[in-house]
Amino acid sequence: MNDLANLFTWRKGRVVVAAITGEIDISNARGLERSIVDELHADATGLVVDLTGLVFLDGSGVHLLYSLSDKTNSRGMAFALVLPASSPPRRVLELSGPRPAAWIHASEDAAIEAVLSR
């Protein structure tokens, strides 16, 4: 990506997990989105974005998450986030509107379970 963020992706069955660490801002949001979307192969049923290692999120990062949600939903896939309750990025998402609240989970396992149950 760039010096601000790292992206790690793997699969748990048919769920793609993308962990982003560092910071998401205007300098890297589009590149992160392209890299994550490239991992969404036809057999995937959902996407979990793990932001437990994220320390900063700006408006372009919020847009990235909304865009990923829209893209997965248009493919018939479920979407969920992993964010600690007290993290500044979680607060940014909570302030961005009611939609993200249903996406957010405390652990990767809980997010994967939510994706699989849809």
Over residues 86-114, the pLDDT tens digits come to 888 888 888 887 766 678 999 999 999 99
Tell me how many domains the chain contains.
1
Under 8 Å between Cβ of 78 and 48: no
Domain that holds residue 90: 5-116
CATH of the domain at 41: 3.30.750.24
- Whole-number Å distance between alpha carbons of 94 and 19: 20
- Whole-number Å distance between alpha carbons of 51 and 40: 18
Q: Which of 15, 89, 13, 77 is nearest to 51 (CA)?
A: 89
| Whether residue 17 has pLDDT greater than 70 | yes
User: How far does CA 99 lie from the centroid of its chain?
Assistant: 14
| Whether residue 64 has pLDDT greater than 70 | yes
Q: Specify the 3-state DSSP secondary structure of 24.
A: strand
Query: What mean pLDDT comes out for the span 43-57?
Result: 95
